[in-house]
Chains A and B, each alone.
Chain A
């Protein structure tokens, strides 16, 4: 079943067109990887999915993006509700300069998800457990989130994203600032999270795409060149361009 269906998505930054007629279906409870060389528009596409491009004043998005059969790209869409359903993890770990606890509790608090302090405590604990961070930080929840290591900070950001129980989690190169061990931990976590969440991940590392994803889309110069099962894309792509990129002939 498809969680997200994008039809004829065009994105403009001022006069410059960044994405051209993107059509892509993203299946539920699977990991979809978006790969491609720098500046190909994969991050732009990802940011369309939770309307983060709204922040950029000159950015204009056209086309239809349906999530659960609802077009999020219409004016009446409530972005606050949308972003509650669609979490996001960024390239550079960006915990709030607050305590670990406050980092996690912030989302549930602004969305009124907890009736009591106990309930909130439970959400914080669950989220940290799901992000495989609980054991490392349970004794120092009142310490600043910025005091953790890079890998821990990124897992904290994942815990923060899942604290509001989103249906979809968008990850924008979540491991590019991390060392191989922290990267392995995050990849393991992604595998775990796909049981409950639909995940879309932008990555520069083709091996990472091959390891974690079930579906892969290859972007180049603002166009979606090819999309298909990860196996097929990596072993037997339809397009020559994809083949060239995968084998490292360009990009």
Chain B
């Protein structure tokens, strides 16, 4: 004889336990996410700041190989040499510096110091012949020193920054000559071997062009395929076979599509290597089944009564489909498309195979120009040895995540807006 009271209690307990398992699972998942985000943001946020050192630059005509008695024209300034101006000004930071030490000082700055000195005089021609303070980009190592990411207590021979450089840097810092500002160049520069100059402009544009190409190729093809399969195709073995294969295609590892892109698009059609065009087409192969499945599901969700209503009014099959079924299925199709594109945006493997992993230090102006992409950029930087790239990796991940979140938000909004309209 079962004690019913006890039996009931057991059931309640089992139910409570079950709910607790669920809550634990959710808390665990949130914890992982929080750790991940904390790690990314805490290492990455410093990448949005950049360090400059203010140095008195001596625009001595002698170092510029120009006539001191005559005001130089803009062309003269444009054509002039600025390396010596820089070196002489660096030497002035320490009166007693020897050759090696001057080289050390020079290494405290990004190699573009010549450009920066030149840019200053070009926009302030009146400073010709004077000594003026100019902001020069600090080297990535000092950037890290300033941000406190550099282990200063390591023995000197294991550091890329020697004690002499640190002394000069600390002196300049105490004089208030070291400044930190928002790092615009991270967004406007292409990739560079120098961490302080490296930016995501090339990979961002590469990603943007890639998904635009991907959208342009996959959306129309997928939509037409879905409409045909769902509304027109007879239900027989062949269409069943096609359906199974589309579902299988969605599960194919992305690297396989990369090989296909390499073997067909590059080798057979001879499209330009490393370009968003090829990347986009390769990614569209991956996105295609995702969109077809989403589009078919949302076509299926359109109530048959709407089709019957249109057919009974004497609309042809095509009119029924284009006037009623497709417009009603579009919100679902679009949000499926955006989710497919978001997947494609985060894809690395196929792009590596079609050569989008190349070092690209130019910003692509069209899908036909060589470019990197955000996930590949993360991969490239993560492989780089310099300390300055560590924060860049995290910053790039942040940009990619924000891009993805915005896309998913757009998908949500489209779904929400159009679905609410009629129900």
Contact = CB atoms under 8 A, between A and B. Distances in A.
A38 to B, nearest CB: 19
A96 B313 CA distance: 11
Contact of B308 (A79, A82, A90, A160): A90
B319 interface: yes
A53 B111 CA distance: 78
Contact of B314 (A90, A94, A111): A111
B234 A80 contact: no
Nearest to A89: B312
A166 to B, nearest CB: 9
Interface in A72-95: 79-84, 87-88, 90, 92, 94-95
B305 interface: yes
B314 A55 contact: no
Interface in B401-423: 421-423
Interface in B208-252: 234-235
B328 interface: yes
Contacts of A106: 310, 313, 315, 323
Given A57-B234, A57-B235, A106-B323, A96 B309 contact: yes
A125 B305 CA distance: 25
Contacts, number: 64
Interface size class on chain B is 20 to 34
Nearest to A157: B309
B390 interface: no
B177 interface: no
Contacts of B97: none
A35 interface: no
B216 to A, nearest CB: 29
Contacts of A96: 306, 309-310, 324
7 contacts: A55-B308, A80-B315, A83-B311, A83-B313, A83-B314, A106-B315, A110-B315
B24 interface: no
A107 interface: yes
Contact of A87 (B310, B312, B421): B312
A90 B305 contact: yes
Interface of B: 234-235, 303, 305-316, 319, 323-324, 328, 421-423
Of B305, B309, B319, B323, chain A has the most CB atoms within 10 Å of the CB of B309
A50 B422 contact: no
A184 interface: no
A98 to B, nearest CB: 8
Contacts of A37: none
B309 A94 contact: yes
A94 B308 contact: yes
Contact of B305 (A83, A84, A87, A94): A94
A110 B308 contact: no
Contacts of A52: 308, 311-312
B9 to A, nearest CB: 46
B235 A81 contact: no
A160 B314 contact: no
Nearest to B305: A94
Contact of B422 (A82, A97, A107, A161): A97
B311 A55 contact: yes
A183 interface: no
A84 B311 CA distance: 10
Given A97-B328, A107-B314, A146-B423, A90 B319 contact: no
Nearest to B324: A96
Contacts of A94: 303, 305-306, 308-309
A80 B314 contact: yes
Contacts of A160: 309, 313
